[in-house]
């Protein structure tokens, strides 16, 4: 991916895996189209915060996102129409139906999420907590896929694949200001173990970025102070 002019290298470096996962989960597995109503569970994480913005850039009709209350305001600023605080039970009884659901955090039961699908909608299982199981989130995802073989709703997994054309789309979104990276912290090599431990805890907002050639150590990112005012919609 060629870094677009005006985009900080750290912001671009964070994009590939999480950004490709968000894009391919929405567009390919989720079959999202312009006007789709989208629910993103786990919107404050690496994949989720790109997913909110990519859904907007792909002209979603409505984006509902879940995260804890402390992240709600900036997630809303990424383009979510409604933010649900899962720590207050707001995900447990959602009064809307969706064309595409991205389950990134994996906290809700698959049968419940299936019930939130509009006719013809898709539930895309991206990840989730391991719950101590040998295969981590994979166990839940495979279980959901097997169960869905016997039902009418569409439940699919996602395995992000490397794609030059898709990276070019993400680069264009970065260039146009439709997608930004929220950087939690920029760390040097020595701080990687601490960063991984924090990631494993499951509550990192946005992305860690590693600067292996830097001796600066850990530093705060240069995130924009406000996330409001995404650029007008472009076509991707
Ligand atoms: N299938 C693929 O190709 C693929 C690719 C990349 C990643 N993944 C998987 O996707 C999952 C997420 O990855 P990631 O990098 O985005 O993780 P991450 O950055 O570690 O996600 C952490 C975020 O999840 C939120 N969260 C935790 N529990 C939640 C819940 N019950 N409801 C809503 N939000 C919750 C946290 O927000 P709060 O602090 O607000 O709680 C935190 O911001 C992982 O399981 C990963 O393995 C899959």
User: Does residue 127 have its Cβ closer than 6 Å to ligand 1?
Assistant: yes
- 112 occurs within a structural domain: yes
- The residues near 60 (Cβ < 8 Å, ≥ 6 apart) are 32, 34, 35, 36, 37, 38
**Structural domain includes residue 228:** no
Closest residue CA from atom 35 of ligand 1: 42
pTM of the predicted model as reported, rounded to 2 decimal places: 0.90
Query: Which parts of the chain have pLDDT scores under 50?
Result: 131-134, 224-228
How far is the centre of ligand 1, averaged over its atoms, from the C-alpha of 33 (Å)?
Answer: 24
Q: What is the pLDDT of residue 128?
A: 76
Alpha helices in the chain (DSSP H): 9-13, 16-24, 46-57, 72-77, 110-115, 137-148, 164-175, 192-201
Q: Is 17 in the pocket of ligand 1 (CB under 6 A)?
A: yes
Closest by alpha carbon to 180, among 191, 168, 171? Answer: 171
In this prediction, residue 140 carries a pLDDT of: 64
**Claim to verify: residue 90 and residue 192 sit in the same structural domain:** no
The answer on 134 and 196 residing in a single domain is no
- In angstroms, the Cα distances linking 75 to 14, 108, 111 are 17, 20, 26
Please check whether residue 16 lies inside any domain of the structure: yes
Q: Which residues contact 199 (CB under 8 A, 6 or more apart)?
A: 208
Q: Are residues 153 and 204 part of one domain? A: no
In the block, which residue shows the tokens 């894009």? 23
Within a domain: residue 235? Answer: no
pLDDT at 167 (0 to 100): 96
| Residue 162, in any domain of the structure | no
Q: In the prediction, which pLDDT does 1 show?
A: 73
Q: Are residues 120 and 200 in the same domain?
A: no
Rg of the chain on CA atoms, in Å: 17
Residue 53 CB–ligand 1 contact under 6 Å: no
Residue 201 belongs to what domain range? 183-223
Question: Looking at residue 131, what is its pLDDT?
Answer: 42
Q: What is the pLDDT of residue 2?
A: 85
The ligand 1 atom nearest the CA atom of 49: 16
48 beta partners: none
Number of domains in the chain: 2
**Domain termination site, one of 140, 157, 174:** 157
- Quick check: CB of 105 below 6 Å from ligand 1? yes
Predicted pLDDT at 225:
40
Of 112, 142, 157, the last residue of a domain is 157
Residue 106: predicted pLDDT: 83
Identify the pLDDT of residue 107: 84
Q: Looking at residue 36, which CATH number applies to its domain?
A: 3.40.50.720
Domain-embedded: residue 144: yes
pLDDT for 217: 64
The answer to whether the CB of 203 is under 6 A from ligand 1 is: yes
pLDDT tens readout for residues 37-59:
999 999 999 999 999 999 999 99
């Amino acid at each position: 991916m060629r870094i677009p002019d005006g985009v900080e290298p750290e912001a671009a470096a964070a994009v590939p895996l999480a950004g490709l996962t968000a894009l391919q989960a929405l567009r390919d597995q989720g079959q999202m189209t312009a006007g789709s109503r989208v629910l993103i569970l786990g919107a404050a994480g690496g994949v989720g915060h790109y997913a909110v913005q990519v859904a907007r850039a792909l002209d979603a009709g409505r984006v509902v996102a879940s995260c804890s209350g402390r992240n709600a305001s900036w997630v809303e600023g990424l383009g979510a129409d409604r933010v649900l605080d899962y720590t207050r039970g707001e995900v447990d009884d959602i009064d809307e139906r969706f064309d595409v659901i991205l389950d990134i955090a994996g906290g809700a039961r698959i049968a419940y999420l299936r019930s939130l699908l509009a006719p013809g909608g898709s539930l895309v299982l991206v990840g989730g907590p391991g719950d101590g199981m040998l295969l981590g989130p994979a166990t839940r995802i495979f279980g959901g896929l097997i169960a869905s073989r016997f039902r009418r709703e569409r439940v699919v997994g996602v395995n992000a694949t490397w794609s030059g054309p898709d990276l070019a789309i993400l680069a264009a979104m970065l260039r146009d200001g439709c997608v930004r990276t929220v950087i939690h912290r920029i760390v040097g090599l020595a701080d990687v173990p601490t960063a991984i431990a924090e990631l494993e805890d499951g509550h990192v907002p946005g992305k860690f970025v590693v600067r292996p050639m830097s001796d600066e150590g850990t530093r705060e990112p240069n995130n924009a102070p406000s996330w409001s005012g995404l650029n007008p919609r472009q076509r991707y």
